[in-house]
């Protein structure tokens, strides 16, 4: 009967205003939210996985053309952005820790740092896109396209550039969504919503942020580095 007792009194012992009516207690609510985010990230893996799969197929079909497009990319931009995202992940991890410990000031500062580096990433990416545009590397409607670097691959490289724009573009959209989430979390933090007993939104949006960063960790070598190793040898 111990169980019965616990269940029957579940609501009365836990007065947190953040407990939604259909959960028994805060632990169950926290577990459900984090588990839900993990399942969501699984769907995100499959979403990007579709693009990574198609990328793999084409890379197998046209390895030479792929090396030439990758050699065109400027790895400095890619490396810089990798560093920027890793730092933003660190500050995100610290934000979650601060929320867990109830350090309101540190939480807000860490969130601001995370958002700052997120914006940095997008700005750098924007410069890079602009460079591609100037270089005639945006094959919309088969136009705005010049591949004098390796004219024998002009057609195939067009496909690979499309993949580059898809993959980094969808990634950038995820960054934008992430920035929107971080802004919301920051506003909530300023209002003092979070406490050591309730910081679920910080935790789950942290998971999302780290996921978006990890996608980039895969994109960077696949899109920027493959061609360059070839030149070093």
Partner 1 sequence: MSTVLQDPQTTETPNYLNAEYGWKSWLLTTDHKRIALLYLISISVMFALGGVFAMLIRVELLTPEGDLVNSDTYNKLFTMHGVVMVFFFLVPSIPATLGNFLIPMMIGAKDLAFPRINLLSWYIYVAGALFAIAAIVMGGVDTGWTFYTPFSSTYSNTFVITAAVGVFISGFSSITTGLNFIVTIHKMRAPGMTWGRLPLFVWANYATSLIQVLGTPVVAITLALLALERGFHIGIFDPAIGGDPILFQHMFWFYSHPAVYIMILPGMGVISEVVPCFSRKGIFGYSFIAASSLGIAIVGFLVWGHHLFVTGMSMYAGLYFSLLSMLVAVPSAIKVFNWTATMYRGSISYATPMLYAFGFIGLFTIGGLTGLFLATLGVDVHLTDTYFVIAHFHYVMVGGMVVAYLGGLHFWWPKITGRMYPEGWGKFSALLVFVGFNVTFFPQFITGYLGQPRRYHAYAPEFQVLNVMSTAGASILALGYIIPLIYFIWSLRYGKPAGNNPWGATGLEWTTQSPPTTFNFDVTPIVTEEAYAYAKHEEAHVG
Out of 9, 16, 36, 196, point to the residue binding partner 1 (CB under 8 A).
36
62 binds partner 1, rule: CB under 8 A: yes
CB 157 within 8 A of CB 69: yes
Q: How far is the CB of 117 from partner 1 (least distance, A)?
A: 27
106 binds partner 1, rule: CB under 8 A: no
75 binds partner 1, rule: CB under 8 A: no
35 binds partner 1, rule: CB under 8 A: yes
Q: How far is the CB of 161 from partner 1 (least distance, A)?
A: 9
Nearer residue to partner 1 within complex by CB, 32 or 108: 32
8 binds partner 1, rule: CB under 8 A: yes
Number of residues that bind partner 1 (CB under 8 A): 43
129 binds partner 1, rule: CB under 8 A: no
70 binds partner 1, rule: CB under 8 A: no
151 binds partner 1, rule: CB under 8 A: no
CB 155 within 8 A of CB 69: no
Out of 21, 105, 191, 231, point to the residue binding partner 1 (CB under 8 A).
21
What 3-state DSSP class applies to 233?
coil
Spatial separation of the C-alpha atoms in residues 181 and 175, rounded to whole Å: 10
Out of 31, 64, 183, 229, point to the residue binding partner 1 (CB under 8 A).
31
Out of 22, 105, 191, 231, point to the residue binding partner 1 (CB under 8 A).
22
Residues engaged in binding partner 1 (CB under 8 A): 3-4, 7-8, 10, 20-24, 28, 31-32, 35-36, 39-40, 42-44, 46-51, 53-54, 57-58, 61-62, 139-142, 155-156, 158-159, 162-163, 166
């Amino acid at each position: 009967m111990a169980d019965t007792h616990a269940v029957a009194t579940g609501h009365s012992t836990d007065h947190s205003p953040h407990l939604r009516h259909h959960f028994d207690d805060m632990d169950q609510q926290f577990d459900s939210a984090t588990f839900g985010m993990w399942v969501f990230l699984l769907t995100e893996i499959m979403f990007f996985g579709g693009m990574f799969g198609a990328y793999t197929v084409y890379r197998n079909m046209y390895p030479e053309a792929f090396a030439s497009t990758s050699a065109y990319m400027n790895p400095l931009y890619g490396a810089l952005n990798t560093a920027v995202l890793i730092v933003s992940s660190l500050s995100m991890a610290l934000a979650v820790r601060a929320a867990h410990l109830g350090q309101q000031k540190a939480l807000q500062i860490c969130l601001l740092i995370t958002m700052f580096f997120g914006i940095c990433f997008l700005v750098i990416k924007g410069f890079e896109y602009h460079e591609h545009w100037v270089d005639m590397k945006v094959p919309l409607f088969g136009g705005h396209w010049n591949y004098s670097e390796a004219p024998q691959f002009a057609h195939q490289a067009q496909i690979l550039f499309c993949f580059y724009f898809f993959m980094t573009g969808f990634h950038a959209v995820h960054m934008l969504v992430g920035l929107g989430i971080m802004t919301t979390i920051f506003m909530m933090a300023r209002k003092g919503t979070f406490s050591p007993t309730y910081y679920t939104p910080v935790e789950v949006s942290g998971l999302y942020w780290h996921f978006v960063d990890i996608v980039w960790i895969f994109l960077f070598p696949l899109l920027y580095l493959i061609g360059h190793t070839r030149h070093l040898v």
